[in-house]
Structure 1
Amino acid sequence: MEGPAGPARTIDDVKVPADHPNPVVRSLLSFWTPTAESMRGWALASVVVNAGIAVTGAGVRVTGSGLGCPTWPRCTPDSFVPVAHPETSMLNMAVEFGNRLLTFLVLAVGVACVVSAMRMAPRRVSLVRLAWLQPAGVLAQALWGGLVVRTALNPFTVGMHFLISIGLVAACWMLYARSGEGDAPPVRLAHRDIRRLGHVLVGAVSVLLVLGVVVTGTGPHSGDLRASRFDFDMEAVARLHADVVYLVVGLTFALLLALHVTDAPRAARRAALALLGVELAQGVIGYTQYFLAVPAALVLLHVFGSTLVWIATLRTVTSLRTRQPVPSPAQVPAPV
């Protein structure tokens, strides 16, 4: 005969992810029992992976692996994974297929952000909406990637592929910024005109990124010998790109000066200073690759710098305002 049954397990006996003894596992499972801190951590992870896949995509191009997997969604006409193909080297195939696999990592982080936002207590609609942009954006990127392959790396489709990633990075950064704030109306931390200058700077950097795509689509490193190029004068588009660089650096310096003169919050001043430093480093890389006839390694570094400039710009602008938590009904004073 069996002995007396033990007491029934209660919810207190169940180990939830937040209580897991292993810190790595606890971090990975934190999306199921999110806190404000873990929500922000997943949002930051989404910024990193989306910026990372934009850079690895450039790596595919500069290694000539753009058509390493010549079909989509399969890698070859007969297989979803790399197999020997008479027209493509296995190295190029592995590089392209590896970049495709990274899409699943980006999607996984995006899904974790969605789950975290939906399980937050209390749930914040603003975070849920921003979080859903990530899996939706990854799906759009995957479909557009198929178009890139099917158009044999047309420079327009390749450029848009990068710009969609830039848009996703912006959405991820806004999720990161908003997860550290409340949902009350925004409160300025700097003068109104300084905030306007920040918005102008975002627009100028956006133009700079678009022109960078045009320069890339005109120059070498198309990703494959079969790929077409924009029919622009390389010297002219490179000079136009450089002119906008000067404009962006000038706007950044003006913003930094205005923040110091008005004694703006330290976080905003440090963000603007970091942005200026990233821009100057990116300028050095750009001029070096120009005078060295655009070596592949520097192109990859320049794309990495472009994503850093974009993130630093977003960080600077979001540091110019904040949002307080919405007061609960109990905190709202009763009308007199």
Structure 2
Amino acid sequence: MNLRSLHQSFWTPTRRSMRGWALAAVVVNAGITVTGAAVRLTGSGLGCPTWPRCTPDSFIPVAHPEISPINTAIEFGNRMLTFLVLAVAVACFLAALRLTPRRSSLLRLAALQPVGVLTQGLWGGLVVRSALNPVTVSVHFLVSIGMIAAAYALYARSGEGDEPPRRLVHRDIRTLGFALVGSVLVLLVAGVVVTGTGPHSGDEAASRFSFDIETVARIHADLVWIAVGLTIALAFALHVTNAPGLARRAALVLFAVELAQGVIGYVQYFLAVPAFLVGLHVLGSTLVWIATLRVVFLMRSRGSLPDATAPQAKAAQVGI
């Protein structure tokens, strides 16, 4: 894609380019969630010890005798990725704003993207200024989860119409899907508590939660089994009720992602949580969340998008 076509994709957007930018928002928000974890896992959380500057005297990295240049580069690099996420967020908003016909539902969801990025940037400053307090770090991750949800909602809504939502499955199955979303969200919250209690604090000076690590890890594991159990129940219910094929396959994909995530989780626990596997586990968390949202969105419909060429075709038929 050249610069001209890139510009046209959000300045004179089509339905396809609108959905493409929404998908890009899902990808970059998930990506920066994982790279943010990599900053902590490499001990680079305070590689830039101040905010908004990297060091007290400079916005860009400079040599500092007490900080490894590698750690500084990792932390500063993650800060720079924020501008990529912001660029995609602005493109989403402009595409929704200039889409013809304009859809208020898309515009509201798209507006959440730049607002969310700016909020995350300010909160990231609080994370640094609090010396990586585990509460601020945990909220930073959970806001990213919210950003991913908003981006996925924009992606899903940009591919369907604006009719009132219509269930494609039995009401109780839809309720089961909502329960699954809630259980995965609680699981993610428990996950950040485990992380905030564990050894990978992001810097030697960072504080940790005072919980017993084995206790919170076991609670987290119990919540995993609840989420997996709900997924199995949902997949079975979708199958026996002959639900739409997309929803059935999405539930199976979710189950497969959960199994892979479970394997990583147990292996990292028994290997004393090596940083690389923890990073994979964070990636798995974002994939579980996205896969869960996908299942729920596929269990209802808002109708198909109207044919954009229909007015022109009708006009041609009546000789206009």
Query: TM-score category by the smaller chain?
Result: over 0.9
- Residue type matched to 1:248 in 2? A
What is residue 89 of structure 1 aligned with on the other side?
Answer: 68
More helix by share: 2
Structure 2: distance between partners of 1:326 and 1:205: 31
SS of the residue corresponding to residue 166 of structure 2 reads strand
Q: Is the aligned partner of 1:248 residue 2:230?
A: no
2:252 to 273, 281, 300: 273
Q: Is the aligned partner of 1:211 residue 2:190?
A: yes
SS of the residue corresponding to residue 74 of structure 1 reads coil
What is residue 178 of structure 2 aligned with on the other side?
Answer: 199
User: Residues 18-70 of structure 1: CA distance to partner in whole angstroms, max 9, x if unpaired?
Assistant: xxxx5675245311111111111100000000000000000000000000000
What is residue 324 of structure 1 aligned with on the other side?
Answer: 303
SS of the residue corresponding to residue 176 of structure 2 reads helix
Largest Rg, 1 or 2 = 1
RMSD across aligned C-alpha pairs, in angstroms?
1.6
Is the contact between residue 184 and residue 326 of structure 1 (CA under 8 Å) also seen in structure 2? no
Q: Per the alignment, do residues 228 and 184 of structure 1 end up closer, same or farther by CA in structure 2, a change over 3 Å counting? A: same
Q: Per the alignment, do residues 327 and 23 of structure 1 end up closer, same or farther by CA in structure 2, a change over 3 Å counting? A: closer
What is residue 259 of structure 1 aligned with on the other side?
Answer: 238
CA apart distance, 1:246: 0.2
What is residue 265 of structure 2 aligned with on the other side?
Answer: 286
Structure 2: distance between partners of 1:312 and 1:275: 5
- The 5-angstrom pairing of residues 74-153 of structure 1 reads 74-153=53-132
Of residues 24-33 and 193-202 in structure 1, the stretch that sits farther from structure 2 once superposed is: 24-33
CA apart distance, 1:111: 0.3
What is residue 134 of structure 2 aligned with on the other side?
Answer: 155
Is the contact between residue 160 and residue 305 of structure 2 (CA under 8 Å) also seen in structure 1? no
Is the contact between residue 117 and residue 127 of structure 1 (CA under 8 Å) also seen in structure 2? yes
Structure 1: distance between partners of 2:72 and 2:304: 50
Structure 2: distance between partners of 1:326 and 1:89: 53
Structure 2: distance between partners of 1:159 and 1:326: 39
Is the contact between residue 159 and residue 305 of structure 2 (CA under 8 Å) also seen in structure 1? no
SS of the residue corresponding to residue 10 of structure 2 reads coil
Q: Which runs of 5+ in 1 are unaligned?
A: 1-21, 332-336
What is residue 317 of structure 2 aligned with on the other side?
Answer: none
Structure 2: distance between partners of 1:73 and 1:182: 42
What is the TM-score with the length of structure 2 in the denominator?
0.94
What is residue 42 of structure 1 aligned with on the other side?
Answer: 21
Q: Per the alignment, do residues 24 and 320 of structure 1 end up closer, same or farther by CA in structure 2, a change over 3 Å counting? A: farther
- The 5-angstrom pairing of residues 162-201 of structure 1 reads 162-201=141-180
Q: Per the alignment, do residues 192 and 23 of structure 1 end up closer, same or farther by CA in structure 2, a change over 3 Å counting? A: farther
Structure 2: distance between partners of 1:60 and 1:25: 35
Structure 2: distance between partners of 1:205 and 1:165: 15
What is residue 35 of structure 2 aligned with on the other side?
Answer: 56
Structure 1: distance between partners of 2:16 and 2:235: 29
